[in-house]
Amino acid sequence: MEEKINLKELNIREGDTGDFISHNVDNCTGCGKCVLICPANLWRLEKGKSILASDYKDRCMECAACESICDYNAISFMFPKGGTGIKYMHG
């Protein structure tokens, strides 16, 4: 599946963010809301559960939409530590 937005033209990444999204597969019901809402296409469904892309730190737009839409507390999002993460170049 292609990315929904060409992120390479919109932003740069700074520093080591560390892990800022955690996923509790046991709480996941496989509803697919995270797959639908993520503008960076970081989530997919596999065997009835959502799976986070292994390269999410390089592609995540840090919008926290995935955590906001998850009704089952399967996704936990924390903004990356200050001075790291996404830096938007336009807009």
Establish if 68 belongs to a structural domain.
yes
- Average model confidence (pLDDT) across the chain: 90
What span, in angstroms and rounded, lies between the C-alpha atoms of 33 and 70?
7
Establish if 18 belongs to a structural domain.
yes
Establish if 38 belongs to a structural domain.
yes
CA dihedral 4, 14, 34, 50 (to 10 degrees): 110
Establish if 88 belongs to a structural domain.
no
Q: The domain spanning residue 77 has which CATH number?
A: 3.30.70.20
Q: Report the predicted TM-score, pTM, of the whole model to 2 decimal places.
A: 0.82
Establish if 90 belongs to a structural domain.
no
Establish if 86 belongs to a structural domain.
no
Say if residue 1's pLDDT is above 60: no
Say if residue 77's pLDDT is above 80: yes
How much is the average pLDDT of 71-88? Answer: 91
Q: How many independent structural domains does the chain possess?
A: 1
Range of the domain at 56: 7-81
